[in-house]
Structure 1
Amino acid sequence: MTNSELAHGREHVVATVDEIPPGEHKVVPIGRYGVGVYNVRGSFYAIANYCPHEGGPLCVGRTRGTNVADESRPGGARETREGEFIYCPWHQWGFELATGTTAVKPEWSIRTYPVRIDGHQVVITA
């Protein structure tokens, strides 16, 4: 198999749009660990259900934003980009849902999958 064949993968209908309302997700049985499909304010993302740190079930973790410095607030920080990051339940490593990147150790970013909406169906390519 060539790299281009691997990159395209197969399309999988994983849910209807109504099955994953904004702020919710669904783990689907694709691949070895499954794939988490997330609805963030109407945009859908798919990410591997595997934390590269110690193999934790990433999609069992909580979604939230990321902290940025804000000296005007108590503690000097505020949360931004609410719901755009998944945090591993084992050690709280955070990954951006859209890209799979992590600030903790960028070379350990994880796989994301293309998502498209076809009518009312959520389709991922994996």
Structure 2
Amino acid sequence: MSAFVDIGALEDVPVQGARVVRTAQGCIAVFRTLDDRVFALEDRCPHKGGPLSEGMVHGDRVTCPLHAWAFDMNTGQAQGADEGAVRTYPVRVRNGRILISAELMARRAA
């Protein structure tokens, strides 16, 4: 079982919104749904590089603000006719705190 790091309170992320966490692996968008589920995805749309953290959250999907590609936040897969995917990351909520995989906080290998 991998270790997790506390990155903030659930209330720090707006409902149906996101916050960006800078990690050794790059920027990660941490999303909160209407029913307080939390997802962590790569913050870069594979289509045109749009910041998914600025996209619209609807259910367990997020839509890129640049060209409206929608991604399933469970799998990272683009929905509909769009092809592509973004990386997802292990995240959980415990006692009102958001925890993300400690591997993301590790330094990149040289």
TM range (shorter): 0.7 to 0.9
Preserved CA contact (<8 Å) 2:18 2:54: no
Question: Could you say what secondary structure the match of 1:56 adopts?
Answer: coil
Judge conservation of contact 1:33–1:50 (CA < 8 Å) in 2: no
Shift of 1:102: 0.8
Greater share of residues in helix: 1
Amino acid at match of 1:26: R
Rg larger for = 1
CA deviations on 1:43-96 (whole Å, 9 max, x unpaired) are 1111110011122212212222xxxxxxxxxxxxxxxxxx32111111111101
CA deviation map 1:22-61 (0-9, x unaligned): 3232111124541111111121111110011122212212
Cα distance in 1, alignment partners of residues 26 and 15 from structure 2:
23
State the Cα distance separating 1:18 from its structure 2 match: 2.2
Tell me the number of residue pairs that the alignment of Structure 1 and Structure 2 aligns: 98
Gaps of 5+ in 2: 105-110
Q: What is the match of residue 13 of structure 1? A: 6
Normalised by the size of structure 2, how large is the TM-score?
0.75
SS of the residue corresponding to residue 65 of structure 2 reads: coil
TM-score computed with the length of structure 1 as normaliser: 0.67
Q: 5+ unaligned residues in a row in structure 1: which ranges?
A: 1-7, 65-82
Q: Does 1:109 align with 2:85?
A: yes
Q: Which residue is equivalent to 1:87?
A: 63
Letter in 2 for 1:102: A
Question: What RMSD, in angstroms, separates the aligned Cα atoms of the two structures?
Answer: 1.9
Match of 1:38 in 2: 31
